[in-house]
């Protein structure tokens, strides 16, 4: 066969069946926790914790700041499953492997996906610590063929050519906006365009300026594979970027992008993000 291999349908089914046999919980909401935001999962009640390595066919996470387990439990009274630790293409995984858990969630009955990430601020009106609701994305790796849906279409999940113009659910975004008002977070909230790059190197100054010209508000190395895969199987999606650092746009700058700053800002805003998601899930 001359075709690159994608993930076999049987792998998703076996993973889902294994999970269904190991917890009685049947969440409709899944949360993917980005860099340093995994503490959300700790706040769930009646937890069932499943390490990724126990689940057949599940990939494993290799990044500091990302644990590797599914946490099922109640968030504000609602059943949820949290991914504590996600996968990235820079770890060497294909886009379809990165998005593997999303299809497994779909088989578990999940219909709403909340995706969080750490991102670099490109928009000069943004500040470190801002919370950006994702209005739309640019799949930069997609411009050269990287898409989680590449390969034979799995008709059981969705159509061959799925629409992406409504990828981020407007209703969920407005609900999340309401929550930020209630919590007094409105001064640190933004709404914008997220661009995914492959990483793991951070962007050059020229690349940051290019992204700015393209209308990008925040840049990161994740989220897009999961969102495309989730939309393919008609999940409702809310995307949240935490602006952990500002992209460097000037040759006069002495700043340097680094993972420590990303983790520090995540810790600074962890409580606010947990409050936001807790409040939001209660309204869903």
Please state the closest distance from residue 218 (CB atom) to ligand HPA, in A: 8
Catalytic-role residue among 17, 76, 90, 147: 90
Q: Which of 27, 73, 25, 83 is nearest to 47 (CA)?
A: 73
Nearer of residues 84 and 244 to ligand HPA, judged by Cβ:
244
Q: Which of 39, 112, 34, 116 is nearest to 80 (CA)?
A: 112
Nearer of residues 44 and 95 to ligand HPA, judged by Cβ:
95
Assess whether 66 carries a catalytic annotation: yes
Assess whether 91 carries a catalytic annotation: yes
Assess whether 118 carries a catalytic annotation: yes
Catalytic-role residue among 241, 245, 266, 279: 245
The torsion angles phi and psi of 18, rounded to 5 degrees, stand at -60, -45
Please state the closest distance from residue 241 (CB atom) to ligand HPA, in A: 9
Catalytic-role residue among 41, 167, 221, 235: 221
Give residues in contact with ligand HPA (CB under 6 A): 118-120, 202-203, 219-221, 244-245, 247, 257, 262
Nearer of residues 116 and 244 to ligand HPA, judged by Cβ:
244
d(CA 185, CA 272): 8
Please state the closest distance from residue 284 (CB atom) to ligand HPA, in A: 27
Contact 222, 206 (CB under 8 A): no
Please state the closest distance from residue 57 (CB atom) to ligand HPA, in A: 28
How many CA atoms does the CB half-sphere of 164 hold within 13 Å?
Answer: 17
Catalytic-role residue among 12, 30, 88, 132: 88
Nearer of residues 16 and 262 to ligand HPA, judged by Cβ:
262
Catalytic-role residue among 30, 91, 218, 266: 91
Assess whether 245 carries a catalytic annotation: yes
Nearer of residues 5 and 254 to ligand HPA, judged by Cβ:
254
Please state the closest distance from residue 73 (CB atom) to ligand HPA, in A: 27
Contact 96, 4 (CB under 8 A): no
Six-digit token pair at 144? 């050269």
Contact 164, 229 (CB under 8 A): no
Assess whether 90 carries a catalytic annotation: yes
Q: What is the DSSP track for 82-101?
A: EEES---GGGT--HHHHTHH
Question: Are β-strands 78-84 and 69-75 bridged in parallel, bridged antiparallel, or unpaired?
Answer: antiparallel
Q: What share of the chain is helix, strand, coil (3-state, %, to 5)?
A: 35, 25, 40
Catalytic residues: 35, 66, 88, 90-91, 118, 221-222, 245, 259
């Amino acid at each position: 066969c001359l075709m690159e291999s994608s993930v076999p349908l049987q792998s998703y089914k076996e993973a889902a069946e294994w999970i269904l046999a190991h917890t009685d919980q049947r969440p409709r909401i899944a949360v993917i926790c980005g860099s340093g935001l995994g503490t959300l999962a700790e706040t769930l009640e009646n937890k069932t914790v499943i390490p990724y390595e126990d689940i057949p066919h599940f990939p494993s996470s290799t990044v500091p700041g990302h644990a590797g387990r599914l946490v099922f439990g109640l968030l504000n009274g609602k059943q949820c499953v949290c991914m504590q630790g996600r996968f990235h293409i820079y770890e060497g995984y294909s886009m379809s492997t990165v998005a593997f858990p999303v299809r497994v969630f779909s088989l578990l009955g999940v219909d709403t996906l909340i995706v969080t990430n750490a991102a670099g601020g490109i928009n000069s009106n943004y500040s470190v610590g801002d919370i950006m609701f994702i209005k739309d994305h640019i799949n930069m790796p997609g411009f050269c063929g990287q898409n989680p849906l590449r390969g034979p279409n799995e008709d059981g999940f969705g159509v061959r050519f799925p629409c992406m113009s409504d990828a981020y659910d407007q209703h969920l975004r407005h609900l999340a906006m309401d929550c930020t008002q209630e919590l007094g977070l409105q001064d640190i909230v933004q709404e914008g365009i997220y661009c995914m790059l492959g990483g793991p190197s951070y962007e050059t100054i020229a690349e940051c300026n290019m992204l700015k010209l393209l209308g990008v508000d925040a840049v990161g190395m994740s989220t897009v594979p999961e969102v495309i895969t989730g939309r393919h199987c008609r999940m409702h999606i809310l995307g949240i970027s935490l602006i952990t650092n500002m992209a460097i746009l000037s040759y006069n700058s002495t700043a340097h992008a680094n993972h420590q700053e990303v983790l520090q800002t995540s810790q600074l805003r962890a409580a606010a993000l947990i409050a936001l998601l807790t409040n939001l899930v209660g309204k869903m």
